[in-house]
């Protein structure tokens, strides 16, 4: 029987110059300053730094983006697109904040059910 691992306050880091191909799952937060091709399923906060890029979907609690995302986001709480953010895809979140200068191409749905976490986010057609 698999043992359930509790969430910790630890932050995972994928630093600038690092390229990852594959899916990432974590019970704690993560900061991405490198590149990721794959999905993220994070039970905590995700931070995409200014040099960070991801091609893939993200499921998380909260998301702060300063870099680039091509994919879909499902956040249980807040998605924050900073002024340097470049986002192409669908956002499903309880709250959305977009700073002037950020570029968002796609659709957004405000979802008040903060406990809803979908493993698969439908790609826009």
- Per-residue pLDDT tens digits for 41-66: 999 999 999 999 999 999 999 999 99
The two three-digit tokens of residue 81, written as one number = 């697109």
For residue 83, report the phi and psi dihedrals to the nearest 5 degrees. -60, -25
Q: Which of 104, 52, 55, 56 is nearest to 79 (CA)?
A: 104
pLDDT at 123: 42
> What pLDDT does 119 receive?
43
What is the total residue count of the chain? 125
- On the question of pLDDT at 117 being above 60, the answer is no
Nearest CA to 68 out of 58, 76, 77 is that of 58
Alpha-carbon distance of 125 to 36, in angstroms, equals 23
For the chain, percent of residues with pLDDT exceeding 90: 76
Rounded to 5°, angle at Cα 108 from 41 and 89: 60
pLDDT(118) > 60: no
What was the pLDDT predicted at 11? 81
Flag the least confident range among 22-26, 34-38, 87-91, 119-123.
119-123
Question: What pTM value is reported for the model?
Answer: 0.82
Give the percent of the chain with pLDDT over 70. Answer: 82
């Amino acid at each position: 029987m698999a043992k359930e691992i509790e969430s910790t306050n630890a932050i995972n880091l994928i630093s600038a110059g690092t390229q990852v191909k594959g899916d990432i799952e974590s019970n704690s937060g993560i900061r991405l300053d490198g590149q990721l091709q794959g999905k993220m399923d994070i039970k905590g906060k995700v931070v995409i730094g200014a040099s960070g890029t991801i091609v893939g979907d993200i499921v998380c609690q909260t998301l702060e983006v300063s870099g680039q995302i091509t994919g879909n986001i499902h956040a249980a709480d807040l998605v924050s697109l900073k002024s340097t953010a470049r986002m192409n895809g669908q956002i499903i979140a309880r709250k959305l904040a977009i700073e002037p200068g950020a570029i968002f191409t796609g659709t957004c749905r405000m979802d008040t059910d903060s406990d809803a976490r979908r493993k698969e986010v439908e790609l826009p057609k």
